[in-house]
Amino acid sequence: MSGAVVVPGPNMKYLTGVDSLMLERPFMLFVPTEGDIHLVAPTLESGPYLRSPLSIEVHSWTDSEGPESAIEEAARGAGIVGRWGVEGRVPFIYLQKLAKRTPFSPEDAEPVLQSLREAKDAEEAALLKKAGRILSRAFEEFPSLVAEGSTESEVAKSASELIYAKGATKVDDMLVQAGAMSADPHHLPTGKKLERGDSVVIDVGATFKGYYADVTRTFCVGNSPEMERVYGRVLEAQEAAISATAPGVRVGEVDLAARGVLKKAGMGDNFFHRTGHGLGLEIHEAPYIVERGSERLGTGMCFTVEPGAYFRGKLGVRIEDDVLMVGRKGIEITDPPKEYGWWK
């Protein structure tokens, strides 16, 4: 590849330090392997890049002018011909306008871009740890929200407010799943009321200065012997997977450590997602802790460990923490309590 086409989002923020909105107006950063970086940006979005200490050639355009000339000038300046990488979130309409103005062969740039961001430096690690502390301290207060008669949506709203109060920059991916809905790992909060005996999964992503923490805890309204039994095995699986993390270990081995515990407990078929995913400027990024995955862990990588067991129409349990590879091992950077019954 002779370069990469990047649009507003985590990759552009990583490369430029600027957060921007991606809307319908063409807005692209052209990063050649050699030579100057060129940016096509609507004039109303170009200010931070014009002030940037980085050497970026900015090609602004107004709604009256349209983007065509700016795209053509930037493509010529960056030398967009032949094989160029394109990140996965580039809208088709952007590519269509670019392809009309320069002959090039688009290729998938995601592996390269993900690898650039995968190992965090000291500054990034500090932000990840701060995000983890904020979310952990908020989770410690969640038991007061998990009350019989409250709705999933009410719990989600109150939980979000708590996380912001602790210092989060942004709260999203808020999941509250009660009773039978806890068996659907991506069920969104509804008006369903929490009932006695329900398992209640709360899964939240929150950022501090752009870097994510992602934590899940499963609570119980009252008591449920069946939920307690499942909870014990899921916790054992999570602890086994975290213990398996070390530099050079394949991600598939970490997944196997969790999956093996649940298979032994007769819950193998009830664990049907990967054990974890990377964290950084995105809530899901490399490395992916997936079954039979061959990528090796390395210093600076940050990822979740979140095994679960789900019984359709009955209950679900998931326990998730964030792990940062430091030195010879992975350390947990989220730490709300997780022994069964801590919420009582």
Does residue 337 lie within any of the structural domains?
no
Q: What is the pLDDT along the chain (344 residues), one digit of tens a residue?
A: 899 999 999 999 999 999 999 999 999 999 999 999 999 999 999 999 999 999 999 999 999 999 999 999 999 999 999 999 999 999 999 999 999 999 899 999 999 999 999 999 999 999 999 999 999 999 999 999 999 999 999 999 999 999 999 999 999 989 999 999 999 999 999 999 999 999 999 999 999 999 999 999 999 999 999 999 999 999 999 999 999 999 999 999 999 999 999 999 999 999 999 999 999 999 999 999 999 999 999 999 999 999 999 999 999 999 999 999 998 899 999 999 999 999 99
Q: Using CA atoms, how far apart are residues 287 and 279, in angstroms rounded to an integer?
A: 8
Confidence at residue 142, expressed as pLDDT on a 0 to 100 scale: 98
Does residue 126 lie within any of the structural domains?
yes
Q: How many helices (H) and strands (E) does the chain have?
A: 9, 16
Does residue 238 lie within any of the structural domains?
yes
* One domain for residues 38 and 129: no
pLDDT tens by residue, 230-289 = 999 999 999 999 999 999 999 999 999 999 999 999 999 999 999 999 999 999 999 999
Domain count of the chain? 2
Does residue 79 lie within any of the structural domains?
yes
CATH number at residue 87: 3.40.350.10
pLDDT tens by residue, 56-65 = 999 999 999 9
Give the E-state strand segments of the chain in sequence order.
3-6, 28-32, 37-42, 56-61, 82-86, 104-108, 170-178, 199-208, 211-220, 276-278, 285-289, 302-305, 308-311, 315-318, 321-326, 329-332
User: Between 251-264 and 225-243, two packed helices, what is the crossing angle to 10 degrees?
Assistant: 150
pLDDT tens by residue, 198-215 = 999 999 999 999 999 999
Domain range for residue 68? 3-117
* One domain for residues 113 and 137: no
Which residue, 101, 117, 133, sits at the end of a domain?
A: 117
Strand 56-61 with 37-42, pairing: parallel
Does residue 256 lie within any of the structural domains?
yes
